[in-house]
């Protein structure tokens, strides 16, 4: 479960997660009633994923893009909780077996659409991506949130 405080401790800034795509195959996300999650459309607009009671948000992740050779595009998204209330969400990240190789399935690779991604071992991809996020210089992990801020 992720907690987005109404304001960050010691500031009056909203809690947030900067724009990113998820690394796994699919994310199934339960939101509470506070609108905060935004998705980037293919025309470059941020669109709010309005909480709808009794529903989940399903995001396509990078691993799914790799398997489908880019036919399914992983969703760029961000979170900004400007409500001043505590927000909670429950993301479930469905990933491939960590030892599985992620490579485009044959049916998605054609002469007109050659392979777009280098095959990679799923666990290596996830670990490398997480390391890239957490090891950047000048990155501060803000306490009480899951936001990583420059």
Binding residues for ligand AKG, rule: CB under 6 A, are 2, 17, 22, 29, 31, 37, 77, 79, 89, 91
Nearer to Fe ion, 93 or 108 (CB): 93
Please state, in angstroms and as integers, the Cα–Cα distance from residue 96 to each residue in 43, 53, 56, 63, 122, following that order: 30, 29, 21, 8, 6
| The entry of ligand AKG, Fe ion, none that residue 2 binds, CB within 5 to 8 Å by partner kind | ligand AKG
Nearer to ligand AKG, 69 or 75 (CB): 75
| The entry of ligand AKG, Fe ion, none that residue 23 binds, CB within 5 to 8 Å by partner kind | none
Window 19 to 48, contacts with Fe ion (CB under 5 A): 22
Sequence-distant (6+) residues with CB within 8 A of 46 are 38, 39, 40, 78
Nearer to ligand AKG, 95 or 104 (CB): 95
Neighbours of 105 (CB within 10 A): 11
Alpha-carbon torsion, ordered 127, 128, 134, 136, to 10 deg: 170
Please, are residues 103 and 119 in contact by the beta-carbon 8 Å criterion?
yes
| Span near Fe ion by CB under 5 A; candidates 17-25, 117-125, 131-139, 141-149 | 17-25
Residues engaged in binding Fe ion (CB under 5 A): 22
């Amino acid at each position: 479960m992720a907690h987005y405080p109404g304001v960050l401790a010691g500031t009056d800034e909203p809690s947030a997660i900067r724009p990113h795509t998820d690394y796994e195959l699919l994310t199934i996300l339960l939101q509470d009633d506070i609108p905060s999650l935004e998705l980037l459309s293919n025309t470059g607009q941020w669109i709010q994923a309005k909480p709808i009671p009794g529903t989940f948000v399903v995001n396509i992740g990078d691993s799914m893009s790799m398997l489908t050779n880019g036919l399914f595009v992983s969703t760029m998204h961000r979170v900004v909780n400007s409500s001043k209330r505590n927000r909670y969400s429950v993301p479930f990240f469905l990933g491939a077996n960590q030892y599985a190789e992620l490579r485009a399935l044959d049916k998605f690779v054609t002469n007109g659409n050659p392979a777009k991604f280098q095959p990679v071992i799923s666990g290596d991809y996830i670990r490398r991506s997480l390391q890239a996020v957490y090891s950047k210089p000048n990155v501060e992990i803000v306490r009480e949130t899951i936001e990583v801020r420059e």
